[in-house]
Amino acid sequence: MYKGGRIIAGLLLFACLALMPFLINIGKAAAKPSPQVNTPFIQQLTTQTCVEPAAFMKTEHMQLLNQWRDAALRDGKTVYVNSQGQSFPISLENSCLKCHSNPQQFCNTCHTYAAVKPYCWDCHNQGGTSQ
Amino acid sequence: MSVTRRRFLKLGLTTLAGVGGAMALDGFWRGSAEASEVLTDQKALKAKHWAMVIDSDRLKSAENVQRMIDACHRTHNVPDFGNSKDEIKWMGTETYEHAFPGQENGYLNEGIKEKLFPVLCNHCENPACVRVCPTQATFKRPDGIVAMDYHRCIGCRFCMAACAFGARSFNFRDPRPFIKQVNPDFPTRTKGVVEKCNFCVERLEKGLPPACVEASNGALIFGDLDDPNSEVRQVLATHYSIRRKPELGTEPSVYYLIGGGEEHA
């Protein structure tokens, strides 16, 4: 091969560079997110359940939040009655964050893992409420 | 017997349709929580057409008006940028000739001429801002309140151009660092959205009157314009009232009582 040594060396160099991200991150899988739900408020609850079962909340919370937003903002409906017949005020700050007062350790763990950047906190107050 | 081409295609397509349909149905059912519903709060104040009457005679000094503005801006986390170019206001003040152009004359009594009238979103019956909004971020609720969904606002400012009353402000900068004391019960806004008075819809939902009405010592009257027995109707029936720029046909829901002002002369 004409100038074979250089070609093979070049190819090897290219392969190394192209595979660099994989080589560097070998064996460094991101840890599975573990959202923390042990806030003081949740610990005081007798039955520690969210507005809907945890499995539903895990997969559908974004749709539920969209429903809540439209119901409260557009239709003035501010009470949510869940599938068990319990009612909750529709409010990110006064319902969700009352229990999940630790959005950094709760919301952000999964969102960071999944590289999702919701813009809730651009406007909504993360610090909880006075109520 | 071997499978004919025709039979193979039939079976294959039926299976595909079945699987596809099941997946679509599954997605549909999971889209909303089972057997859940949303209701209106029992405590909420209800009306068919919210309206406000501003009794300018009872607003004797600029401090009276400023107290209402402060109450509003504190409640709604309205930032203070310290310059008029970036200014955000839900409630402001205007002189008579600016608030009611076309109704001024050169010989107005001094009390009226120099008085500062509180101005806010008029929650028009035919809101121009709602007509021009390309995303329906601003909309008219069934109770007459012209509300905003800041999630949807794309900051195009058509509504600001359409509003004849200058009731809307744009967030040219991130407002958060300029809010003196954040009210944790109400969200702030973000850079790039328009904002305005919401007739305290979040307070009405809890059964409370608007913040400015509460701080006005009776100078602002708030109620249902469609209810003949409401206080606003009683006041309008017994006093002479004007509205801002009625000739535009937007039908403002904010009324002003101008009682001559001889006590200021």
Element (H, E) at A89: strand A87-89
Residue B264's pLDDT band (cuts 50, 70, 90): very low
CB contact under 8 A, B35 and A83: yes
Per-residue model confidence as pLDDT tens digits over B129-152: 999 999 999 999 999 999 999 999
Look up tokens 């107290």; give the residue. Answer: B67
DSSP 8-state code for residue B244: S
Report the distance separating Cα B93 and Cα B69, nearest Å: 9
Helices assigned H by DSSP within chain B? 5-30, 62-75, 96-99, 110-114, 128-132, 158-162, 201-204, 211-214, 231-238
Query: What residues contact residue B52 under an 8 Å CB cut-off, 6+ apart?
Result: B120, B199, B210, B213, B220, B221, B222, B232, B253, B254, B255
DSSP 8-state code for residue B189: -
Q: Three-class SS of residue B193?
A: coil
Residues A98 and A36 in one domain: yes
**Is position A131 within any domain?**
no
**Is position A128 within any domain?**
no
Domain enclosing residue A71, as ranges: 32-122
Report the distance separating Cα B264 and Cα B96, nearest Å: 14
Length of chain A in terms of residues written: 131
Report the distance separating Cα A119 and Cα B190, nearest Å: 10
Residues A90 and A118 in one domain: yes
CB contact under 8 A, B30 and A59: yes
**Mean pLDDT across B14-18:** 91
Of the listed ranges A26-30, A86-90, B56-60, B82-86, the least confidently predicted one is A26-30
Q: Three-class SS of residue B66?
A: helix
pTM of the shown model: 0.81
**Interface with chain A: mutation pick from B28, B37, B40, highest number of A CBs within 10 Å:** B37
**Shortest Cα distance, chain B CAs vs residue A88, angstroms:** 10
Residues A78 and A94 in one domain: yes
Report the distance separating Cα B9 and Cα A71, nearest Å: 47
- pLDDT of B82 > 70? The answer is yes
For residue B165, which amino acid is it?
A: F
In chain B, where the domains are located = 1-31, 50-264
Residues A63 and A108 in one domain: yes
pLDDT of residue B263: 43
Q: Three-class SS of residue B143?
A: coil
* Number of structural domains in chain A: 2
Look up tokens 């009625």; give the residue. Answer: B246
Residue A60 forms contact with B (CB below 8 Å): yes
Q: Three-class SS of residue A112?
A: helix
Residues A23 and A49 in one domain: no
Q: Name the residue among A55, A128, A116 with its Cα closest to residue A92.
A: A128
pLDDT of residue A32: 86
Residues A21 and A57 in one domain: no
ipTM for the assembly: 0.78
**Mean pLDDT across A26-40:** 85
* Chain B residues closer than 8 Å to A77 by CB: 38-40
Residues A13 and A60 in one domain: no
Residues A12 and A69 in one domain: no
Residues A56 and A12 in one domain: no
Ramachandran angles phi, psi of A117, nearest 5°: -120, 80
Tokens coding A16: 């190394």
CATH code reported for the domain at B50-264: 3.30.70.20
Burial class from Cβ neighbours inside 10 Å (0-12, 13-18, 19+) for residue B105 reads exposed
Residues A80 and A60 in one domain: yes
Residues A86 and A64 in one domain: yes
Burial class from Cβ neighbours inside 10 Å (0-12, 13-18, 19+) for residue B40 reads middle
Residues A26 and A79 in one domain: no
CB contact under 8 A, B35 and A122: no
**Interface with chain A: mutation pick from B28, B38, B74, B181, highest number of A CBs within 10 Å:** B38
For residue A84, which amino acid is it?
A: Q
Mode of pairing for the β-strands spanning B254-257 and B194-195:
unpaired
